[in-house]
Structure 1
Amino acid sequence: MGCCICALFWIILAAVGWKIYLKLRTKKTDSYTCLNGKTAIVTGANTGIGYVTALDFACRGARVILGCRNKEKAEEACEKIKKETGNDNVVYKLLNMTSLQSVRDFAKDINENEDRLDILVNNAGAGGLGNHVTEDGLQITIQVNHLSGFLLTHLLIEKLKKSAPSRIVNVSSIGAKFAKINIDALNMFPQDVGPARADTRLYGVSKLCNIYFTTELAKKLDGSGVTVNALHPGAVLTDIFRRMPKLMKTIVMAFAKPYFKTPEEGARTSIHVATSRSVQHITGQLFDNCQQIELYDSAKDAEIAKKLWTKSEELVKLKREEKIK
């Protein structure tokens, strides 16, 4: 009995120590940039780090557009942001990342009704989605985490160029560091492992796609005044894995609570990359903890970047005039 109590004591002490370490290590952005007169879009902004990012932009005076699929939650988030910041220029527009038509409708609305677009944060993402195919015939994790953001960025690129200097921020994950892309099997659910490991692998692949998209897009936008960077927000306690099976979610959340960042801490790097003057001329790079870091080895293959770009154009059925040259 004494041994069990002793072991429990050390486990609790380790958990507390780790949390203190995370708090001390987590940096704050150096940005005090005012966003009056600017327009920002944050996808997946009704909860988690997306919500905190949108809240921060509103505090800085921006017109903030929340791109979300859940109307009720998004409208509630808008009202909370307005009340907390005193900024009434915060709106919700429907954006369902499981539907390419929804992405097109959202982009059409922005292009027709918004005067400018200064910041696009491709934040929306999810894990634990399983082996499902969307209405577009696409593997749901790849579509939600990569292809829909890829399409959205293409459709809004002219608005971003006209508003330059402007920024695109792609929220990736350290899971990309351990992933490997098979272009030919990009749209397939892994069959060589169990569902849980397949989900994890596919999530990592989708996040690696975010980084490859970032580096290739930066090359294509060279000289345009539009920068694009990716980031790892840290291990953040959000509801990104809300669609996991109940038992698995319970286990993950039980582990996560003592060790993961809060959404407020996790959003700091997104905010930094989107607003800091120190980042204004940086493009095609990866950030973690409000600092630029070296690209993961898994994300350094220029040929894979080009092939992924071509494959993504094909899967989202980009029209010739929509392609970024």
Structure 2
Amino acid sequence: MPIDPYILLLLGTVGVAALLPARGTGADVASGASTAAIAFLFFLYGARLSTREALDGLKHWRLHTTVLACTFVVFPLLGLAARGLVPVLLTHPLYQGLLFLTLVPSTVQSSIAFTSIARGNVPAAICAGSFSSLAGIVVTPLLAAALLGGNAGGFSADSVVKIVLQLLVPFLAGQLLRRWVGGFITRHKKVLGYVDRASILLVVYTAFSEGMVQGIWHQVSALRLAGLLAVEAVVLAVMLTLTWYGGRALRFDREDRIAIQFAGSKKSLASGLPMASVLFGAHASLAVLPLMLFHQMQLMVCAVIAKRRARDPQPEVTEAAAPTAGSRTAVGTATRSG
């Protein structure tokens, strides 16, 4: 069960923010840079998403609807149910972060990777993760405003303007300019990936610096963190079980069930951190802590599940039903193009 190196970078950034938090003019500069980084991140998200691939993926609408329902309906219901654990197991700020965790969209990269390892429907995982990220730009802020109330800015005009300007407008700009910048982004995918991660580290540093200056970390004890981890483990176990056996009840085949399980049970750190910065402001540090912990937990658990799924026996194919060489080539081409 590997530890994601990026999680170590995030934890290191938290440590730097704890020892050397940005104050005064430095805090203003960091806040401005963080705002610009968030806008640039969502511009890249928009420029990377192929409109044609997204439209082609709509053909498998039952699978995508199932993943979206898991991400934006079942997950939030579990988050609301956890309200009964306050204040016995969770503090109110930690619960707010846990509830926000249940509202963010699914991952893209890790869903694809684990689906591929487990020999599932990779094209479906690509489209499901992309649709979830796209929907999350609108759905996550609306759910946060409705369920978190004043802690996430509510339905005030200022919060709506922030969401539109920092998240939606850059994303739409990326989609509109994809025709001209898509090739550049594809050619420099690796370098821009580092830019993505550096931008998120800046967002984390700014958020945790504000938390340190305001002294909110005195509210968190080791016992409360242990309680948070236990609750998150239960949430993850419930979602992994529900997505797998629910897929069977809905009569999806094995490959589709694998895509549903990995795309419908995870949450995106890359999308959630910038959104939390916009929605929570100075309280973002506690809001993103549950998401950071859940992200590492889901990677470790899903890595084990994917390897076990890969060892599952494949159904036997009779000679009459076996595809011809030409049809195998066509299927392989369709898979690569998807």
TM-score, normalising length: structure 2 = 0.26
Choose between structure 1 and 2: higher helix proportion: 2
Query: Which has the higher relative contact order, 1 or 2, with Cα contacts under 8 A spaced 6 or more apart?
Result: 2
The structure richer in strand per residue is: 1
